[in-house]
Amino acid sequence: MTAWLNIVGIGAGGLDDLTPSARTLIETAELLVGGERHLAMAANDRARKLAWAFPLDGIVAEIRAAQDQRVVVLATGDPMSFGIGATLTRHFDPAEMTILPAPGAFSLAAARLGWPLHGCTCLTLHGRPLELLHHHVLPNARLLILSHDGTTPAQVVGLLRDAGFEQSRIHVFENMGSASESSRTGSSGTWDTSPVDDLNTIAVECIAGPQARYHPRVAGLPDDAFVHDGQMTKRIIRAATLSALSPLPGQHLWDLGAGCGSIAIEWLRATQDVQGKGARATAVEKDSERCAMIAQNASRLGTPFLELVAAEIERALPDLDDPDAVFIGGGLSTGALVDTVWKRLRNGGRLVANVVTLEGERVLLDAHARYGGDMARIAVSHADPVGGLTGWRPAMPVTQWSVVKS
């Protein structure tokens, strides 16, 4: 297959820093695609020039229509690092493409700091919510962050302060690789929050203060990590439930009767990548106050892409994409819901349901007889004061049914 689609990464130094072969591709292109700034650099008056317009569907269609021409897409830095190259490989066969990267912001920042790149978490806040950082701000973590604009460093500093990481070291690099490159260094607690140049990259050495708030990524967060009204899957049961659901990247969870969203949120925390993607979770909850709790918890715990459906379960299901895993934590009063979910569950998918009532247990026993799987009763007791002594106070036992559709 002939490579007709060329993607050329351009650093802050412009065309002068490109290799001769990259410059030749630009000079001989019949269609040039890129931002206004990059198109203005291109010394090729014969080519048709196409500036980015969002959404990208129209641009992608024009590129596809020009596959009998020499097409060059101009990108910033490394096109495969949160760049247009990663987008275009979803629409075109990589065998049709030639990708020539320039040193990206992550590589340049790591080189300036002497940080091994493989030991850093590389993130982007360009067009993405700041709340994604909550998932990555952990003691001793090193973060490299692409900014959305000149206000992003101040927003990152504010998040660090609020999380109790005011001792963290911040490095902001402006216009890296250009003649006007500059940098600032300081601590998040004393950082000057005035705006910087829009083209900037942030590096953070996360240092937890004495009041720092953070959570590990393993299943079973403390109950008080969530805003809730008491109706939630408690920590030990939640850890067992997530284990049975087996979160995997790229898969889709239905959390039915989601309560405060704890199962869906921990599913995402176990699987999401640096873009906040990696898996999907849809929380279905009919109570409006609990929906507000779910939204708040998703933001606080770094999973802002949680999909929330405020509706009765039976009304919501027809509009949802088929799931790879389903958790039924509420609304299980008849076997009809189990049958509906089973039909929609993809092959190899996991279904887990928890109940505490005899009526719910009867539904699970019937479902177990029809579909197989495992039944377990989980009983948890906590040590509580008894007078001047200490004794065990049992919680209501939970009956759990889990099954894999094969």
Do 77 and 166 fall within a single domain? no
Query: Does the residue 210 lie in any domain?
Result: no
Which domain-ending residue is among 160, 175, 205?
Answer: 205
Q: Which candidate, 259, 228, 227, places its Cα nearest to that of 354?
A: 259
Query: Does the residue 214 lie in any domain?
Result: no
Q: List, in order, residues 6 or more apart from 218 with CB less than 8 Å away.
A: 270
Do 172 and 252 fall within a single domain? no
Q: Identify the pLDDT of residue 342.
A: 97
In terms of Cβ atoms closer than 10 Å to its own Cβ (0-12, 13-18, 19+), residue 248 is middle
Q: How far apart are CA 254 and CA 317, in angstroms?
A: 9
What is the per-residue pLDDT across 95-109, written as a single tens digit (0 to 9) for each?
A: 999 999 998 999 999
Q: Identify the pLDDT of residue 29.
A: 94
Q: In terms of DSSP bridges, do strands 97-100 and 5-10 run parallel, antiparallel, or are they unpaired?
A: parallel
Domain of residue 55, residue span: 5-103
Q: What residues are paired with 183 via a beta bridge?
A: 173
Query: Does the residue 212 lie in any domain?
Result: no
How many Cβ atoms from other residues are within 10 Å of residue 315's Cβ?
11
Angle between helices 335-344 and 358-371 (to 10 degrees): 40
Query: Which letter does DSSP use for residue 381 in this model?
Result: E
Query: Does the residue 217 lie in any domain?
Result: no
Q: Which candidate, 282, 264, 325, 277, places its Cα nearest to that of 90?
A: 277
Q: Identify the pLDDT of residue 45.
A: 87
Query: Which letter does DSSP use for residue 45 in this model?
Result: S
Which domain-ending residue is among 162, 178, 205?
Answer: 205
Q: Identify the pLDDT of residue 59.
A: 93
Do 249 and 331 fall within a single domain? yes
The CATH number of the domain holding residue 88 is 3.40.1010.10
Q: What residues are paired with 382 via a beta bridge?
A: 393
Q: Which candidate, 30, 27, 26, 23, places its Cα nearest to that of 68?
A: 30
Ramachandran class of 397: left when φ > 0, alpha when ψ lies in -120 to 50, beta otherwise: beta
Two tokens, residue 96 = 């049709």
Question: Within its chain, how far is the Cα of 301 from the centroid?
Answer: 11
Q: How far apart are CA 225 and CA 41, in angstroms?
A: 51
Angle between helices 288-300 and 262-271 (to 10 degrees): 20
Q: How far apart are CA 350 and CA 371, in angstroms?
A: 12
Question: Within its chain, how far is the Cα of 378 from the centroid?
Answer: 32
Q: How many domains does the chain have?
A: 3
What is the per-residue pLDDT across 126-145, written as a single tens digit (0 to 9) for each?
A: 989 999 999 999 999 999 99
Q: Identify the pLDDT of residue 183.
A: 96
> Rg (Cα) of the chain, in Å, rounded?
26
Q: What residues are paired with 327 via a beta bridge?
A: 255, 352
Do 380 and 288 fall within a single domain? yes
How many Cβ atoms from other residues are within 10 Å of residue 269's Cβ?
23
The CATH number of the domain holding residue 148 is 3.30.950.10
For residue 340, the SS3 value is helix
Do 331 and 185 fall within a single domain? no
The CATH number of the domain holding residue 263 is 3.40.50.150
What is the per-residue pLDDT across 177-214, written as a single tens digit (0 to 9) for each?
A: 888 999 999 999 999 989 899 999 999 999 999 999 99
Q: Identify the pLDDT of residue 294.
A: 98
Q: Which candidate, 42, 21, 35, places its Cα nearest to that of 99?
A: 21
Task: State which residues of the chain have pLDDT below 50.
Answer: none
Residue 327, φ and ψ in degrees, nearest 5: -120, 125
Cβ–Cβ under 8 Å, residues 26 and 72 = yes
Two tokens, residue 318 = 């027809």
